[in-house]
Structure 1
Amino acid sequence: MPLPLEPSIDQVDLPVIDISEFLEDLDGEDLSQLRDHPLLAKLRKACKEWGLFYLVNHGIPVEILDKSQKASRDLLSMPIEVKDRVTTSKPIDSYYRSPNFETFGFPDTTKSDSIAQTCLKIWPEGNANFSETTEKYAVCVSKLSEKVTKMILLSLGLDAKAFYHSHFEKCTAKLHINGYSSEKKLIGEETLPSHADSACLTVLYQDDVGGLQIRSQEGEWFNVKPLSHSFVVNLGDSFKAWTNGGYRSAVHRVVCKGWINRMSIAFITTFPMEMEIWAPAELVDDNNPRRYKPFQYSLLKHEVQTNKEIKDRTTFLELFAGI
């Protein structure tokens, strides 16, 4: 029987970013007037120290969030033999399960029929409620993810609109519906090992069960308390490399909270597989020389997928360290 994890330090007061003042402005042509907004300093600090923050007053109606959570729980509660209809040779883009974790991956949600095609494998007769609910959620969070990315670019002192267009507009978007449990229900048991995402940016909606933890720069673990109807945004290794290491990638894990199963919905944006990740000249100077060699995102992804026994995925990014 696995031993419980060492008790983590209690929850930390992570940065809370209220995006309400930016929602309309981030759709404009000229974003230069936002560069001196005081909220950007708070966002910059969050990305430097944690690589993770809460997002509140995000503009997505509560009804959409609640309906999406219910639809996701209904999906996760289906019999295993039904879920396995979605399993393919690419588990990250279909259905995957381990004793403590399961996930439905909906690949490239930028394509209008992506979710519908997956639904047909589960429900050949169709399921309009799930399909419409999940597609509406994906559209809303996709727009929010774009706004958040532009805010982060602004916090770096960059021309957000220009850099979004040249580096992030062609990102692939994936939706994952995740379920966490423990067959032995051992409180404190790790249900998702510690790791940093290889992706660019994740916008995560979680239920109120709790269990998500983040590791500080000093190596200590803290609980990430659920904040009702908010999102948790975390940066991944590829974005860390793109910022020349200026911003962190959040090392996180999920631990078992007892008999109540945890659910989350992750909207993940990744650079195109063939894209060369190379920090812009604006983020490099004599005091902050280049930290990483240029590399294609596919190479980082390959290292993650072929070295699954290594739990702390931040080690993979160091393969590309040095010039």
Structure 2
Amino acid sequence: MAIPVIDLKDFPEQSGALLRACEEWGCFRIVNHKIPSVLLSDMKSVIKSLFDLPMEIKRRNTDVIVGSGYWPPSKENPFYEAFGLFDVASPQAVETFCTNLDASPQQRETILLYSRAISDLGMEIGRKIAGGMGLDCDFMKEWPCQFRINRYNFTPDTVGSSGVCMHTDSGFLTILQDDENVGGLEVMDKTGAFVIVEPMPGTLLANLGDMSTLWSNGRFYNVKHRVQCKEAMTRFSIAMFVLGPKEEALEAPPEFVDAEHPRLYSPITFEDFRKLRLSIGARAGEALEHVRLQPAGP
């Protein structure tokens, strides 16, 4: 089995395929996304150099919201470390991130260009999803976006172990530039089986998170995923999360609610939902049950 591939040059013809991917898989490959391959390559080179910085410099990447800064290896994920940047679409936030990490002028330019391109792509996908659902709106406009820049330090004795434990993303949409040489990402399909996501150079991967399930009134699948160590190599990836509204509560639009499809979830802000996930210590979509209005189906 292979996850769906969505061609962004083939719209509106691909609209139905996009919605099916959101409903059945909660993830899809993106081709013809218009981000130049040289920019993808340059950004990957920049992040590799950032991970080589001394620990005292890495730790300058501090939280803006909880969990948005540098993550050192931990007991739970000992082979994983990451930088964070909140908010990707803010040039000032990008500048602060670069200054804290002593980035060179060339590195700053690459990070800024990549940030603009990937956040614009997130908004474009949001518009295509809304259009496919019959909504004429740019509903994700001005939603904050966050980077999570990842390194997995896999060695021969870690083969077969977990790089990152199974989880769903808390936000609406994640766009991932995964490692073009090292696999390990797996997504769970609706039968509960894990499906290997093979690297596909030049493409990007989109995952739907908990906020998409809430917004779609349960129609979209918040895909569970994990990273497994398949080989003794260092693996790099760059995830951009489109989170949710800054202040107002998110809820399913009235177009998605009727007698046959009653409202499933109570409105909640992304910040409150994120705090809920942290408070219950569950990261695989369980927090949605705490805001559910209707009993779960059979």
Query: Which TM-score applies when normalising by structure 1?
Result: 0.85
Alignment partner, residue 151 of structure 1? 128
Alignment partner, residue 192 of structure 2? 219
2:94 paired residue among 104, 115, 139: 115
Higher helix share: 1
What is the percentage of aligned positions where both structures have the same residue? 30
1:42 equivalent in alignment to 2:17: yes
User: Following superposition of structure 1 onto structure 2, how do residues 32-181 of structure 1 map, counting pairs within 5 Å?
Assistant: 37-88=12-63, 90=65, 92-98=67-73, 99-123=78-102, 126-159=103-136, 162=137, 164=138, 167-181=139-153
Deviation at 1:97, TM superposition (A): 1.7
Deviation at 1:261, TM superposition (A): 1.3
Q: Is the 8 A contact 2:154 2:233 kept in 1?
A: no
Instruction: Provide the rounded CA distance (Å) in 1 between the counterparts of 2:14 and 2:156.
Output: 44
Runs of 4 or more consecutive aligned structure 1 residues displaced over 6 Å after TM superposition:
none
Q: Is the 8 A contact 1:211 1:256 kept in 2?
A: yes
Unmatched runs of 5 consecutive residues or more in structure 2: none
Q: Is the 8 A contact 2:4 2:28 kept in 1?
A: yes
Instruction: Provide the rounded CA distance (Å) in 2 between the counterparts of 1:92 and 1:184.
Output: 29
Deviation at 1:118, TM superposition (A): 1.6
Instruction: Provide the rounded CA distance (Å) in 1 between the counterparts of 2:50 and 2:208.
Output: 27
Deviation at 1:88, TM superposition (A): 4.5
Q: Which amino acid aligns with 1:212?
A: L
Instruction: Provide the rounded CA distance (Å) in 1 between the counterparts of 2:135 and 2:113.
Output: 31
Deviation at 1:89, TM superposition (A): 7.9
Alignment partner, residue 288 of structure 1? 261
CA spacing shift, 1:109–1:88, aligned 2, 3 Å: closer
Instruction: Provide the rounded CA distance (Å) in 2 between the counterparts of 1:306 and 1:319.
Output: 11
1:204 paired residue among 176, 180, 185: 176
Equivalent pairs, count:
289
**1:75-116 C-alpha deviation (Å, 9 max, x unpaired):** 122232331232458562221122221111111122212122
SS in 1 for 2:94: helix
Instruction: Provide the rounded CA distance (Å) in 2 between the counterparts of 1:307 and 1:78.
Output: 34
Q: Which amino acid aligns with 1:56?
A: V
Q: Is the 8 A contact 1:201 1:235 kept in 2?
A: yes
Q: Which amino acid aligns with 1:201?
A: L
User: Following superposition of structure 1 onto structure 2, how do residues 270-309 of structure 1 map, counting pairs within 5 Å?
Assistant: 270-308=243-281
2:164 paired residue among 167, 189, 192: 192
Alignment partner, residue 286 of structure 2? 315
**1:28-69 C-alpha deviation (Å, 9 max, x unpaired):** xxxxxxxxx331111111111111000001111111011011
Q: Is the 8 A contact 1:214 1:251 kept in 2?
A: yes
SS in 2 for 1:78: coil
Instruction: Provide the rounded CA distance (Å) in 2 between the counterparts of 1:19 and 1:291.
Output: 31
Instruction: Provide the rounded CA distance (Å) in 2 between the counterparts of 1:293 and 1:184.
Output: 47
SS in 1 for 2:59: helix
Q: Is the 8 A contact 1:304 1:313 kept in 2?
A: no
SS in 2 for 1:169: coil
Deviation at 1:305, TM superposition (A): 2.2
Q: Is the 8 A contact 2:155 2:231 kept in 1?
A: no
SS in 1 for 2:60: helix
Q: Which amino acid aligns with 2:41?
A: D
Q: Is the 8 A contact 1:185 1:258 kept in 2?
A: no
**1:270-293 C-alpha deviation (Å, 9 max, x unpaired):** 113432121111111222221111
Q: Is the 8 A contact 2:156 2:231 kept in 1?
A: no
Q: Is the 8 A contact 2:50 2:101 kept in 1?
A: no
Unmatched runs of 5 consecutive residues or more in structure 1: 1-11, 23-36
SS in 1 for 2:29: strand
Alignment partner, residue 34 of structure 1? none
